[in-house]
Amino acid sequence: MNSKNLPWDVLLIGGAAGTGKTSVSYRLAHHFAAGITEVDDIHTVLMTLTSPEQQPELHYWDTKPASVEMTAEDILNLHISVARAISPALQAVIANHVETHTPIVLEGDYILPELLVNPDVMKYANRIRAVFSYEPDKQQLVNNFLAREPDEGEQVGRAHVSQLYGDWLQNECSKYGLPALSARPWENLFERILATFM
């Protein structure tokens, strides 16, 4: 597909870890002949350019190793705080791509539904599309992480956080009228995403 004829300039693919967003995002970028950026890379850049004093949320895991003992709910709240700290950078990237009409897929679990109702983003609403994925089955998430990162063993705690985040995202998407799709069946996730905005 010719990227010059797209009805959007920015396609946001959000969702919890372990729900297949990265794989489907690269497929979407290829399909639309668009660029792609993983929001994790933006997170890395922001951490490099800031100090723990300037952005404590961004540096939390590096400065407080004992945080691994946090509850899943506390980790979820921290994740949302980090995502909110990253949001201004995402707003700038979105604005740049809309104003230059350079299509891009932005993918990552730091994309929040509330980003789409930020006034600085809403003014570009007709040139932005967004979809969020979730996986309601914690054991499936355990299996997904094990298949992807076998050396890490069964990441039950991480799966629990992803499950909670998926539930939270569904509620947020419902609040803002945004599409939230179950990651399964994997076989047609790509087609289901296309159907939400084509």
Reported pTM: 0.94
Q: What is the pLDDT of residues 10-55, one digit of tens each?
A: 999 999 999 999 999 999 999 999 999 999 999 999 999 999 999 9
Q: Residue 13 has what pLDDT?
A: 98
Q: Residue 67 has what pLDDT?
A: 53
Q: Residue 64 has what pLDDT?
A: 74
Q: Residue 44 has what pLDDT?
A: 95
Residues ≥6 apart with Cβ < 8 Å to 133: 13, 14, 15, 16, 19, 20, 21, 24, 180, 181, 182, 183, 189
Judged against a pLDDT cut of 80, whether residue 126 lies above it is answered with yes
User: What value does the mean pLDDT of the chain take?
Assistant: 94
Residues ≥6 apart with Cβ < 8 Å to 54: none
Q: Residue 66 has what pLDDT?
A: 60
Q: What is the pLDDT of residues 137-173, one digit of tens each?
A: 999 999 999 999 999 999 999 999 999 999 999 999 9
